[in-house]
Amino acid sequence: MKKVQILGTGCAKCQKLTENTQEAAKGLGIDIELVKVTDMVEIMKFGVMSTPGLVVDGKVVASGKLLKPAEITAFLK
């Protein structure tokens, strides 16, 4: 099971990224462990300065932009 973290303070883009990530996982038919990281200190530990951020298995794959489900699918495969 892949561990996916959404980095963000809970803004609308962060919430939409969470929805898109769940949609991408559902489309692939896989289960993911989805964790929301809202603490700015924790977010900065990833080196992310602009949110939302997407982390898959400990690796930052995107930051500062809202990815579409199709884009997220590539990171979950």
Selecting among 4, 7, 14, 37, the annotated active-site residue is 14
Selecting among 3, 11, 12, 74, the annotated active-site residue is 11
User: H-helix or E-strand containing 14?
Assistant: helix 12-28
State how beta strands 59-63 and 2-7 pair.
unpaired
Q: Is 27 a catalytic site residue?
A: no
In the block, tokens 């964790």 appear at 35
Q: Is 6 a catalytic site residue?
A: no
Instruction: Give the residue numbers annotated as catalytic, written as ranges.
Output: 11, 14
